[in-house]
């Protein structure tokens, strides 16, 4: 039975992960850490402040759903303590990823980072990548709850990167003048525009619109409840022990 710890255990996502781990017969929740919510109940555990609890409990795998600033330090600490990491936090730089890969390869442990653990989101990215060569224009819209502090989402960024890698023949943006600055969104790889919405009542939603002469294709993914991420998180937790180094994206584990 795998021993699992959770960083950010007192938050909404962390608490949901704790509950999912506790309910899985192949996993055991052994540590819950959240210095901002000490004492919070999480999947039968109580959140503590000191991450040393992960090592003391001999966790095999630790899940991190915190923020980038905290996760950078947490991830390196896990490598130093030879503990596998499953990370749902976004906002890492390319330099961060190089550092993580080196640290976990050296430790002979795995660090699995996924911008989105929903299977539907993984499929959405793959479908957009497959469709890209057949269209001339595309834009990506991501919509999230109003507590998300980074924009655009890691899922939107990875989607655009994969579409740009699949095709480099996108038509130029015809816009010559913005009546409101920024109205056309951010410019991603290959000039693909990305738009971010933050609104109360949403959870996580992504829409890719592709267009060619006389036709459009819309690919949309909606997570209406945080439980949608749990099958992917648990799959990553169970897959980590058989791997080494950095793995980015859940599709690498699902053979999608």
Residue-by-residue DSSP string for 91-127: ---HHHHHHHHHHHHHHT-EEEE-S---HHHHHHHHH
User: With 90 as the cut, is the pLDDT of residue 199 above it?
Assistant: yes
144 is catalytic: yes
User: With 90 as the cut, is the pLDDT of residue 255 above it?
Assistant: no
238 is catalytic: no
Which CB contacts under 8 angstroms, 24+ apart, belong to 93-96?
96/72
Question: How much is the average pLDDT of 212-225?
Answer: 96
User: With 90 as the cut, is the pLDDT of residue 193 above it?
Assistant: yes
Is the domain of 36 the same as that of 105?
yes
Is the domain of 150 the same as that of 193?
yes
User: With 90 as the cut, is the pLDDT of residue 256 above it?
Assistant: no
Is the domain of 218 the same as that of 230?
no
What pLDDT is attached to residue 198? 98
Is the domain of 100 the same as that of 170?
no
Is the domain of 129 the same as that of 211?
yes
Question: How much is the average pLDDT of 112-122?
Answer: 91
User: With 80 as the cut, is the pLDDT of residue 68 above it?
Assistant: yes
Is the domain of 231 the same as that of 109?
yes
Task: Catalytic residue, from 144, 195, 205, 206: name it.
Answer: 144
Number of structural domains the chain divides into? 2
Supply the range of the domain harboring residue 69. 2-113+226-254
Task: Catalytic residue, from 28, 145, 148, 238: name it.
Answer: 148
Is the domain of 133 the same as that of 203?
yes
186-187 sheet: strands from edge to edge: 186-187, 193-198, 137-144, 204-212, 215-223
User: With 90 as the cut, is the pLDDT of residue 135 above it?
Assistant: yes
What rounded mean pLDDT belongs to the chain? 93
CATH number at residue 212: 3.30.360.10
What pLDDT is attached to residue 44? 80
CATH number at residue 78: 3.40.50.720
Is the domain of 139 the same as that of 241?
no
The percent of residues above 90 in pLDDT, for the chain, comes to 75
Is the domain of 215 the same as that of 234?
no
Is the domain of 137 the same as that of 219?
yes
Is the domain of 29 the same as that of 83?
yes
Banded model confidence at residue 171, pLDDT cuts 50, 70, 90: very high
Is the domain of 104 the same as that of 138?
no
pLDDT digits (tens, 9 = 90+) for 25-61: 999 999 999 888 888 877 788 888 899 999 999 999 9
Q: Which positions ≥6 away from 154 have C-beta within 8 Å?
A: 90, 91, 115, 116
Global pTM reads: 0.81
């Amino acid at each position: 039975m795998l021993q699992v710890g959770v960083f950010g255990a007192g938050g909404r996502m962390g608490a949901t992960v704790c509950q999912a781990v506790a309910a899985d017969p192949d996993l055991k929740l052994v540590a819950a850490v959240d210095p901002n919510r000490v004492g919070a109940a999480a999947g039968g555990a109580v959140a503590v402040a000191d991450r040393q609890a992960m090592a003391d409990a001999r966790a095999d795998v630790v899940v991190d759903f915190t923020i980038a600033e905290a996760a950078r330090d947490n991830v390196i600490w896990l490598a130093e303590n030879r503990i596998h990491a499953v990370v749902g936090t976004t906002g890492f730089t390319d330099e961060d990823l190089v550092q993580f890969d080196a640290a976990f390869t050296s430790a002979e442990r795995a660090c699995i980072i996924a911008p989105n653990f929903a299977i539907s989101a993984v499929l959405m990215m793959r479908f957009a990548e497959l469709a890209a060569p057949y269209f001339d224009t595309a834009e990506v819209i991501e919509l999230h709850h109003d507590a998300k502090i980074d924009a655009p989402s890691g899922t939107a960024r990875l989607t655009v990167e994969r579409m740009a890698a699949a095709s480099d023949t996108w038509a130029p943006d015809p816009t010559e003048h913005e009546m409101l600055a920024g109205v056309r969104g951010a410019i991603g790889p290959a000039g693909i525009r990305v738009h971010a919405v933050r609104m109360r009542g949403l959870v996580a939603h992504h829409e890719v619109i592709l267009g060619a002469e006389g036709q459009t294709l819309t690919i949309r993914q909606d997570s209406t409840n945080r439980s949608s991420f749990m099958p992917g998180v648990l799959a990553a937790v169970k897959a980590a022990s058989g791997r080494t180094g950095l793995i980015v994206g859940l599709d690498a584990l699902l053979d999608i």
